[in-house]
Amino acid sequence: MNEPVSSNIVRADGHVDGPARAANLGHASYTVWFTGLSGSGKSTLAFAVERALIDRGVAAYVLDGDNVRFGLNRDLGFSPEDRTENIRRIGEVCRLFQDAGMVVLTAFISPYAVDRAQVRAIHPKGRFVEVFVDTPLEVCEARDVKGLYAKARSGEIGEFSGISAPYEAPVDPEITVDTSKPLERCVAEIISALGL
């Protein structure tokens, strides 16, 4: 991991730790990282899991790939370098949410295994849960409400994960789901795996 540019900073330690936050909120905190192709159902699934967690009294929040690019990451495009920086920034935000005691759910293609591994590395052991949304490409293309696959296949969009740019599927994710199956079933699998 890279060190900060400035050498004139010192990390500040607070007086409340993770176990105290968990006791206060009544649940453990996690970063639940949904990764998969465009159209795989990451956002739909993340928002459905968020709803189910909130209904159970769990403090949860979704960081969605497109939504984050309207604000925090509006200066980034889709080059390999920008994709890496996008995931680095989001990973740091997730770590803050997780440290605050929340369950933060992300919905990012995050196509590079090394970027996901770096996000995992900044989290405490067992607090980063990778969810591979392993939905068949033909299903993703059929769901393509934005028309992105057609544009990528015609050459209008370059650097499109799974078509004109790589997507490195997780080798050993904590959870694998296929959203061509019923949404409720996928949500139940994730909630069960988290033990929340």
CB 105 within 8 A of CB 60: yes
Compute the distance between CA of residue 108 and CA of residue 87 in angstroms, rounded to an integer: 8
Handedness of CA 94, 171, 155, 83 (dihedral sign): positive
Cβ burial, residue 35 (10 Å; 0-12/13-18/19+): buried
Which two three-digit tokens encode residue 75?
């200066």
CB 44 within 8 A of CB 183: yes
Q: Quick check: is 110 catalytic?
A: yes
Residue keyed to tokens 């990390």:
11
Which two three-digit tokens encode residue 171?
């080798």
Catalytic option among 40, 110, 164, 180? 110
- SS3 of 97-131: HHHCCCEEEEECCCCCHHHHHHHHHCCCCCCEEEE
Residues tagged active-site? 110
